[in-house]
Structure 1
Amino acid sequence: MTTMQKSLAEFLGTFWLVFGGCGSAVISAAFPEVGIGLLGVSLAFGLTVVTMAYAIGHISGCHLNPAVTIGLWMGGRFPAQEIPVYIVSQVAGAILASAALYLIASGNADYNLAVNGLASNGVAEHSPGGFSMGSGIAIEVLLTFFFLMIILGATDGRAPAGFAPLAIGLGLTLIHLISIPITNTSVNPARSTGPALIEGGIALSQLWVFWVAPIAGAVLAGIVYKVMGGSAKDVPSTDG
């Protein structure tokens, strides 16, 4: 595949991840009478990953996440020269998805960006459950580490073929079930960037946390998986 084809796949895939995942959270929070709750939002994020992994995994690997791209590089699965174009495409997709979500949500008179937001990530006073910055950083590092371990393992050439998207999607669902109350769940700098740029304010000022912590966890996972004897040969579909 050409770089342009991979970039377009990552752009569209990340758009779907943010629009589907954050969209479910925005509607659920803003309109509780039709809300789907913690379980529904968690499942929505997992489903975006599963569907896109099958749709574009054979084109770009379906990273949808700068931390995944960097973690795969650290694990010996991805060339360094392609990292910038992947990350730019992922962030662009996330921003456009957030803008589209805001446009659609604002069509309801009861929606208010300052009150309802766009499912941005946060710690301390911006944490859904009031968890400290230390707790938020710790959970983001830890969960991104295990997310990358799932991805690296499920896409290893020695793993059962065809099940990687399901393992990765279910892993992301579990991650959201654990950490939505703590940080609203990032493990993905692009997913955090889109809503933060539209919301501004504290979401934007805390955005650095959701770049530093997930990338740290991903890098650590890449190192650990190689130490464990991870294969450099992988199946086409990965994700984030």
Structure 2
Amino acid sequence: MVKATGQCNISVISQDATFDLFKHFGFQSGRDVDKFADYPAANYQTSENGIPYITVGTNAYFSLKVKQTVDLGSHTLFICELVAMEVLSDTASATYEYYQSNIKPKPEAVGTTPKGETIWRCRICGYEWVEAHDFILKMPSFLEKIVAAILLVGVAYSCIQLGIHVASLTELAFDEYIEDILITAFNAVIVIEFIRMLIKHSMNTIIEVLIFAIARGLVVGHEAPLETLIRIVCIAILLACRKYLFYEKDFEEEM
């Protein structure tokens, strides 16, 4: 229909929406049925372009005119021009996370297996499955903590070595002595950040590990000017990504 008419309306679903709205418009195709044929007339209106827009469970709508179509193989991308819009309510929009947490029906327990495992049924499609044992679900986290503990031992050893380097006399030349200390210090910091990444899964720890790993080669490496420049550019890109391309929740640490 969009390709044929060259125009469309988009309704912005709000947090007031019920699952029935998602089910009616999302679980059937407009190629097979007229979705507005049996939809309550009080729940939608028609805009100036002659296309309906939903008024219940939404907070705004946009009227769009198709300017370009792009065939992406499995679907078509419509690039549109905004013709008209209207705010219908002050209710916040329903994000995918909100839908999963507050609107989508939760699975229901319908029984147990002879082994005592819970049998769950999807309230949408009726599919049933057996929940895995808790220890299987927690196994990756457990293994990560074991790896972190092993690395922590390595960090402790590196710190001891660093202390020995700093406190003891050495036959190394001064520049080699300083470089040895820097290498040991950077290795310790990188491993500490890597341990944090294993235990507290967050974008922040991943970015920091990458920055420290690149900075190590920049400070203690003996590289050509081009390689040094590449490292500097990489650090700048990581810092820019951290500042402009992520939301604050991306840096929240999971326990």
Structure possessing the higher radius of gyration over alpha carbons: 2
- Compute the TM-score of the two structures, normalised by the length of structure 1: 0.19
Q: Which of the pair is proportionally richer in helix?
A: 1
Structure possessing the higher relative contact order (Cα contacts under 8 Å, 6 or more residues apart): 1
Q: Which of the pair is proportionally richer in strand?
A: 2
- Compute the TM-score of the two structures, normalised by the length of structure 2: 0.18
